[in-house]
Amino acid sequence: MTDLTRLTAAELAEKIHSREVTSAQVTRAHLDRIAQVDGRVNAFLHVDTEGALAAAEAVDAELDKGAAPASPLAGVPLALKDVFVTRDVPTTCGSKMLEGWLPPYDSTVAARLRAAGVVILGKTNMDEFAMGSSTENSAYGPTRNPWDLDRIPGGSGGGSSASLAAFEAPLAIGTDTGGSIRQPGAVTGTVGAKPTYGGVSRYGLIAFSSSLDQGGPCARTVLDAALLHEAIAGHDPADATSIDAPVPQVVEAARAGAKGDLSGTRVGVVREFAGEGYQSGVSAAFDAAVEQLRALGAEVVEVSCPHFQYALAAYYLIAPSEASSNLARFDAMRYGLRTGDDGSASAEQVMAATREAGFGPEVKRRIMLGTFALSSGYYDAYYGQAQKVRTLIARDFAAAYEQVDVLVSPTTPTTAFKIGERVDDPMAMYLADLCTIPANLAGTAALSVPCGLSADDGLPVGLQIMAPALADERMYRVGAAYESATEPLINRVPELGGEQ
């Protein structure tokens, strides 16, 4: 039989719906793969074997009765980032603060996946509370990149991206606050999409930075990402920031793009995302990708977005400020970890002891940064100024999209760096998100697709394709066209072998 773990989600769905294979068979194949290799990769924090098989068997039972599939992805397995609340399944956010917590309800994303018949294999590893670019900040150990187990798989959603590259799951869900879907996609040779802010509900997504956080699809092909995007997107009254508008026609766009014709499409290369600081192999792969877009019929022009150079600084004021507010709820009084309570301690002492024990170094760093930026006498100088920069970046995007249909850049300035290499250098770590942050600040859509291997180290490089708010279909069309003209990079991932 064909190795079911090597098929795309669309291929698996076709086989399941035609009854060539069962969802249970597909699910067992992926559970077996997880058992075989995840001891080396550490992509999963929790594998829900019983729940996954029950969900798969329920899909099979309906199909055997002649019922239509609940969705185009019914019966296909998926790995879910552990930042989404899942009923009666552990949700830790990669932190000791929530170790052992069993939520009493599902996030909207989890509920929509279940309603679509998607089989949730388990919860994936992540930087604690989604704060990081390497998945080294997890309280449960780092995830490793299947391309090179000594390197990072990106962050904060490295568990989701690694599960795809290790063939442990055909689909995954991530969240993107400053690049946490796209950057892991780039360094693992997979596809990651950040929808327009508000396009996917944040209800039940444990908040890091509420004005930036956005859930989205991770996959091995553009079409698979589009199918998953369609399954989880749409208005949700439970989320006040959810957009009440039709879901962009992302699947139709991906199928159209796969024909490989970009005639009439104007592509803008962002001038500010070039020059120093980029690994030579990344720059070369990006330049080759731009030439490929031109060969597909696109008109390529250079576009200036002058305020993008301030995006990183603005982000690291806005995001920590919102984090310091959001994480105040973890106070040892309501749920989660509680320590330092010997019966004589005050509530403040218990709270301080718990937060000291429960939060890791990066989370503490960002809470302190954010609290300082919001403090009396500094709010206007820091947080207020950062919000003004955010407005200027949004205006840069608006002006650019008057000239072009999409913008392109490298997804990340370097390929995957070695585990431990940047742990003691926060600024070097933060620079991994240099190209991805502007789209978060503006709330626009962006996609990362593989664009070859770096000549420097033979590791994957990502091409970022950015589109206007509520025009997500544009990035899928361009991404699918580019993908159709290139070799599937995922086929070159080294074989991990058995668990060691």
* Positions marked catalytic: 81, 156, 180
Angle at 145 between CA 140 and CA 150, to 5 degrees: 85
Query: Do the beta carbons of residue 481 and residue 259 sit within 8 Å?
Result: yes
Query: Do the beta carbons of residue 406 and residue 466 sit within 8 Å?
Result: yes
Amino acid at residue number 236? D
| Distance in angstroms (rounded) separating the CA atoms of residues 41 and 242 | 35
Rg (CA), the chain: 21
Sign of CA dihedral 380, 384, 389, 392: negative
| Distance in angstroms (rounded) separating the CA atoms of residues 295 and 66 | 46
The pair of three-digit structure tokens given for residue 396, joined into one six-digit string = 């840069």
The pair of three-digit structure tokens given for residue 138, joined into one six-digit string = 């997890």
| Distance in angstroms (rounded) separating the CA atoms of residues 233 and 445 | 13
b/e per residue 306-333 (b: at least 16 CB within 10 A): ebbebbbebbbbbbbbbbbbbbeebbbe
Alpha helix ranges (H) inside 246-345: 250-257, 280-295, 311-326
Residue 29 DSSP code = H
- Element housing 141 (H / E): none
The pair of three-digit structure tokens given for residue 319, joined into one six-digit string = 């995001």
The pair of three-digit structure tokens given for residue 84, joined into one six-digit string = 């989404």
CB proximity list for 376: less than 8 A, separation 6 or greater: none
User: Please, which residues bridge with residue 174 across strands?
Assistant: 216
Question: 387: how many CB neighbours lie within 10 A of its CB?
Answer: 15
| Distance in angstroms (rounded) separating the CA atoms of residues 462 and 278 | 13
CB proximity list for 45: less than 8 A, separation 6 or greater: 82, 90, 92, 94, 122, 123, 124, 125, 138, 140, 159
Residue 83 sits at φ, ψ, to 5 deg, of -100, -10
